Amino acid sequence: MFAGAYRRHCSPGPSEEQSLTPLHLKPGLFGLSHWAAIAHSHDLGLASHLSAVAQLTVQFSDYLGCSSKEQRVLRRAAFLHDIGKIRVPAPLLCKPGKLTGRELQIMQSHPWLGYELLSRAGEWNEVVLTVARDHHERLDGSGYPRGIGGSEIGFRVRLITICDVYCAMTEERPYAETMSWNLALERMSQKGTRLDMDLLDAFSTMITCHHSHRGTW
Ligand SMILES: [Fe+2]
């Protein structure tokens, strides 16, 4: 089974102690709620997307058999993956239609912006920083900002990327048509070598089972 095949990836995550430095030990730390509030005040769509990806990531990692501890690590990373967009002008985040070259450049700077913001905050572990920086990288090297690929992209990034792509396709967006869950899965499966296809198979099975047995997500 797919879920069983991935259990080995889920178990060794950093402990809670390693994952997050306790807030009272460092000055100037605000925690997840701080970033959630900033995202909410910057753009409601961004805040909604962060919550949706975090929720779906927990559901998927649970389906794969990840430990509760690992699920918490993944949830934090998923919730903060797009936090760099708080440095992208809000009108650009919801601009309908095609972005200009310069606008695309600004938009595609959000992984590094997020990495830098979270690094400077000093409260987040390497998993959170890596996911913020690498969630637009693709296995075939076609992603950004660094164009890395293959084994350079870790399991957690691969997992959260799939949840991110699915949420982005199925959410209401001013700049693109909202897709049904099954069309989104079909489009994702057509991305060939860009996404982790074994993980995507497991994800598709989970989503399909959910909709077959329990209605909408
Ligand atoms: Fe992103």
How far is ligand 1, taken at its centre, from the CA of residue 96, in Å? Answer: 17
For residues 195 and 11, what is the distance between their CA atoms, to the nearest angstrom? Answer: 22
Residue 20 domain-assigned (yes or no): no
For residue 174, the model assigns a pLDDT of: 75
Predicted confidence (pLDDT) per residue in 91-130, tens digit:
999 998 889 999 999 999 999 999 999 999 988 999 999 9
For residue 112, the model assigns a pLDDT of: 98
Residue 23 domain-assigned (yes or no): no
Tokens of 121: 């905050």
For residue 208, the model assigns a pLDDT of: 95
> What residues does the ion ligand 1 have nearby, CB within 5 Å?
82
For residue 215, the model assigns a pLDDT of: 55
- Whole-model pTM? 0.85
Residue 17 domain-assigned (yes or no): no
Domain membership of residue 142 as a residue range? 31-214
For 176, the 3-state DSSP assignment is strand
| Domain CATH for 95 | 1.10.3210.10
* Half-sphere exposure for 84 (CA within 13 Å, toward CB): 25
- How many domains does the chain divide into? 1
For residues 173 and 198, what is the distance between their CA atoms, to the nearest angstrom? Answer: 28
How far is ligand 1, taken at its centre, from the CA of residue 1, in Å? Answer: 30
How far is ligand 1, taken at its centre, from the CA of residue 110, in Å? Answer: 7
For residue 114, the model assigns a pLDDT of: 97
Residue 206 domain-assigned (yes or no): yes
For residue 66, the model assigns a pLDDT of: 98
Can you list the pairs that 26-30 forms with residues at least 24 positions away whose Cβ atoms lie under 8 Å?
26/122, 26/123, 28/121, 28/122, 29/121, 29/122, 29/123, 30/121, 30/123
For residue 30, the model assigns a pLDDT of: 67
Q: Which of 16-25, 124-133, 191-200, 203-212 has the lowest mean pLDDT?
A: 16-25
Residue 115 domain-assigned (yes or no): yes
Residue 44 domain-assigned (yes or no): yes
Residue partners of 11: CB distance under 8 A and separation at least 6? 66, 67, 70
Predicted confidence (pLDDT) per residue in 120-161, tens digit:
998 899 999 999 999 999 999 999 999 999 999 999 999 999
Give me the percent of the chain exceeding a pLDDT of 70.
84
Residue 12 domain-assigned (yes or no): no
Residue 15 domain-assigned (yes or no): no
